[in-house]
Structure 1
């Protein structure tokens, strides 16, 4: 009789375990379908019935991350790791939650633990690379992204991540290789073409940069940054009209960016539309009155229009914001010289020399005796 009781109890335990496994898989599928609330509810019932179910705790942590409850998620991952300190997936997931909270240093430690317990956990290398990138450890990020690619399988994101780091390190030709491999794997991602365009721009291959921006805009015609990037490449090709058209489109899509007005002002200046350039620089200053470059650019336009008093005023505003730039003193001195105010001009020239300008020496020798 006792043997039969034991057998029946054993069957009941097996059925219960199987039922729990099915519920865990059901919750996993809900997470994959972005039904995070439903998954959390199901997993909470499972955990209430068995608080030592590490798989359920790990999955509920993921569900909580989907709900942006990162502190709650970390709590679940902590419990899972208390039950099994070698649980690589939980270490990785806790690291992801810490990245979301801006704690990159601690996240790196978690990803390192995940790799210790599962040296082939590709996602942990990728995540650690992202965290290292955030703290500007570019070499470390490069190594982790490379390891993720070595482990495979190759995908566009892995090549893109490494390409971004290579570009940050100034290795633009190698970055182009990675972006190209990413594009071969995913020809529908506008961002890949945009980033490769930036890399081509930095190598001086302006035609290819424009071609990539063309494709990026074709795939995503609502992003102002892509038009701005193409405008910069056209400007570098001295296609100022084409650049102006792209800056116009960028501003049409987003009229809140001071830098875009400033750059359009440069294009208008190159087209000798000084009034239009001044209007753009003025708008840039309205949006961001703390950038000395905008005052310098407007001063240059005013000088071209022989509005010397206005130019001096703008250079003075620039100097208030950035009093250690020798070029601004030099330019203001030139304007004052045009106003026949040689005494004040020489004060500016000498200040420029004091701050390290070498080009000002000849003009001091000629005018400031």
Structure 2
């Protein structure tokens, strides 16, 4: 019974999110992502007026103030964030004090950050350009005389460095050597999963992330990465379940709505797919890739006029993407607007000349216009780039001219 209730909630969750206009906090974060910091400040201020108890809202408004060079306002917000949730503003306070020449305060708050369980890796801090002015000071040197990091944190930093350096075998060996000692730490299993994903060992990657999730059930990245592995294995239902969990934990990760929208589409859950993409587009109305995705969803449903409307929109924003022209060409092909399809396929091939599917479909459009020579030429090019279907069409309609006409 409880399992059924949980499933029902996950299915209804999009409705709970989309039944109203995105709240000011979400709108503020979206404006931040678009680097529209002044507008983001306005939205986040609205969120604070509605609820002044959330440290994350003050924190993000502080980041916007800092981007605008409004350091006093940023410090004020970070101090409130720090008061509402201990250590939440300490690192950014250290950065701002450093860039404004207040070394004592910078080191004070950096020491406070290093005392927290959420401290950033040493390499991240030391490579942060905000602290360049402190590097030769006695304050900085004295700060790093203390051992801030545990043996496990040092180990994880080394593993992550190996992964970044593509030393995958060495990283796996180091993980294996320490799994027994640190069996209660999810990060080692997650690091193993990351390497296995890179190596396209999807089943083992999913297993590694599952082990990490038995230890830490509230880390959204583990669900996201396991969902990636599950999708590659064709287990879309399980992948959807993981994305639902990740979004419940971290609903402000907006790209997850794009990912889940397409997964809904693959599962033919079109209403939910459109709800996710529509929510995203309320926040990012000029995002061409999202508009393109919405067009593809409508295309999948057979709603070709709505698909065409969205492909026109994304091409009005960006004409540098071959896939945008190809998608509109496919839509014209479906609606038997063959000359427009040929034109768009040509534009797509100008941008990316090695797409066999575009040559295949361009050939179909030409065939339907009784341009058999042009169709055969396009199918020959499609074969050159690996199309099996084009080979079948060429044999059927180009080798023997007495073949019946191709069925639409």
Name the SS for the 2:354 alignment partner: coil
Residue pair 2:135, 2:141 contacting (<8 A) in 1 also:
no
What is the 5 A alignment of 1:59-138?
Answer: 87-138=151-202
TM-score (norm 1): 0.68
Name the SS for the 1:256 alignment partner: coil
Identify, as 1 or 2, the structure richer in helix.
1
Residue pair 2:322, 2:352 contacting (<8 A) in 1 also:
yes
Residues 152 and 299 of structure 1: CA distance in aligned 2, closer, same or farther (over 3 Å): same
The structural deviation recorded for 1:151 is: 1.5
Q: Deviations over 1:243-269 (max 9, x none)?
A: 112222333343222222212110111
Identify which of 322, 327, 330 aligns with 2:392: 330
The structural deviation recorded for 1:328 is: 2.0
**1-structure distance, mates of 2:265, 2:344:** 25
Identify which of 246, 251, 258 aligns with 2:322: 258
The aligned residue for residue 226 of structure 2 is: 162
Residue pair 1:91, 1:113 contacting (<8 A) in 2 also:
no
Identify which of 303, 309, 316 aligns with 2:367: 303
Residue pair 2:189, 2:211 contacting (<8 A) in 1 also:
yes
Instruction: From the CA coordinates, give the structure whose radius of gyration is larger.
Output: 1
Residues 179 and 335 of structure 1: CA distance in aligned 2, closer, same or farther (over 3 Å): same
Q: Deviations over 1:187-213 (max 9, x none)?
A: 222222222222222222222222222
Residues 49 and 317 of structure 1: CA distance in aligned 2, closer, same or farther (over 3 Å): same
**2-structure distance, mates of 1:176, 1:43:** 51
Residue pair 2:209, 2:222 contacting (<8 A) in 1 also:
yes
What is the 5 A alignment of 1:1-369?
Answer: 25=111, 28=114, 36-37=128-129, 42=135, 55=147, 87-322=151-386, 325=388, 327-336=389-398, 341-342=401-402
The structural deviation recorded for 1:172 is: 1.2
**1-structure distance, mates of 2:211, 2:200:** 18
Residue pair 1:88, 1:113 contacting (<8 A) in 2 also:
no
**2-structure distance, mates of 1:224, 1:105:** 39
**2-structure distance, mates of 1:43, 1:98:** 29
Runs of at least 5 residues in structure 1 that lack an aligned partner in the other structure: 1-20, 59-85, 347-358, 360-369
**2-structure distance, mates of 1:303, 1:150:** 57
Q: Relative contact order (alpha carbons < 8 A, sep ≥ 6): 1 or 2 greater?
A: 2
Residue pair 1:23, 1:42 contacting (<8 A) in 2 also:
no
**1-structure distance, mates of 2:351, 2:158:** 40
Residue pair 1:213, 1:226 contacting (<8 A) in 2 also:
yes
Residue pair 1:217, 1:223 contacting (<8 A) in 2 also:
yes
Q: Aligned-pair RMSD on alpha carbons?
A: 3.5
The number of aligned residues is 292
Which shows bigger deviation, 237-246 or 164-173? 164-173
**1-structure distance, mates of 2:337, 2:382:** 23
TM-score (norm 2): 0.62
The structural deviation recorded for 1:39 is: 5.5
